[in-house]
């Protein structure tokens, strides 16, 4: 009889430990990292708009971001593109098209009560870009920045970006004159 009581106490203790683990702030925080946003993409140069959906499954860790910066600094943008190819933090869908993987995503407080979300995407290069040796080949990334105050805000979308690093700071250069705007960004 005493053996059965000890076994059931161990089972109860084990179940309580699992429940406590699931309720710890770190685990809840990891689950809370799933974010989805809708916005309207506006091309300020050529006109036109399209709906955008951004789905973030998880945010990149500090270690992942530091590793990507190290790859860029040590090996250059081609190695960074290769490193991003193996990562997936979510997806972005423009218009009615298929979603394209977001390689890295970060979220930081903006110091004004809101937050800034940054997304890096290894942009697919078209066959035409590759065979014509187009200048856009030197801009193999896409970059998205959302500025949120509460659950809404705005942002920018650089469809073709060149990435470099200077004195530890990542520089992002747009192929176009100005980035496209993300209007009416809303968290879903």
Number of domains in the chain: 2
Is pLDDT of 32 > 70? Answer: no
Per DSSP, which regions of the chain are E strands? 35-42, 49-56, 90-94, 100-102, 104-109, 115-122, 141-149, 152-166, 169-174, 180-187
Task: Mark whether 91 and 15 lie in a shared domain.
Answer: no
Task: Mark whether 27 and 39 lie in a shared domain.
Answer: no
Task: Mark whether 98 and 15 lie in a shared domain.
Answer: no
Query: Region 112-137: what's the mean pLDDT?
Result: 77
* Burial degree of 140 (CB within 10 A; 0-12, 13-18, 19+): buried
Task: Mark whether 27 and 95 lie in a shared domain.
Answer: no
Query: Region 105-130: what's the mean pLDDT?
Result: 84
Task: Mark whether 113 and 133 lie in a shared domain.
Answer: yes
Percent over 90 (pLDDT), the chain: 45
Give the residue numbers spanning the domain of 1: 1-32
Task: Mark whether 107 and 120 lie in a shared domain.
Answer: yes
Q: pLDDT tens digits for 144-166?
A: 999 999 889 999 999 888 998 88
**Structural tokens at position 184:** 């009416």
* Burial degree of 120 (CB within 10 A; 0-12, 13-18, 19+): buried
Task: Mark whether 91 and 164 lie in a shared domain.
Answer: yes
Task: Mark whether 12 and 57 lie in a shared domain.
Answer: no
Mean pLDDT of the chain: 80
Question: How far, in whole angstroms, is CA 57 from its chain's centroid?
Answer: 9
Task: Mark whether 10 and 42 lie in a shared domain.
Answer: no
Q: pLDDT tens digits for 46-99?
A: 778 999 999 999 999 999 999 999 999 999 998 998 999 889 999 999 998 888
What's the pTM value of the predicted model, to 2 decimals?
0.77
């Amino acid at each position: 009889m005493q053996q059965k009581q000890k076994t059931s106490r161990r089972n109860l203790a084990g179940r309580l430990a699992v429940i406590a683990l699931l309720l710890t702030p770190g685990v809840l925080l990891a689950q809370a990292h799933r974010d989805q946003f809708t916005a309207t993409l506006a091309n300020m140069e050529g006109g036109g708009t399209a709906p955008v959906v951004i789905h973030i499954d998880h945010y990149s860790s500090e270690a992942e971001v530091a590793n990507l910066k190290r790859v860029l600094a040590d090996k250059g943008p081609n190695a960074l593109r290769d490193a991003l190819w193996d990562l997936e933090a979510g997806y972005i869908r423009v218009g009615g098209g298929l979603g394209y993987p977001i390689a890295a995503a970060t979220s930081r407080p903006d110091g004004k009560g809101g937050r800034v979300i940054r997304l890096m995407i290894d942009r697919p290069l078209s066959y035409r870009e590759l065979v014509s040796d187009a200048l856009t080949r030197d801009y193999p990334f896409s970059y998205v920045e959302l500025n949120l105050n509460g659950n809404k805000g705005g942002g920018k979308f650089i469809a073709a970006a060149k990435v470099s690093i200077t004195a530890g700071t990542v520089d992002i250069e747009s192929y176009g004159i100005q980035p496209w705007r993300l209007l009416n960004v809303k968290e879903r």
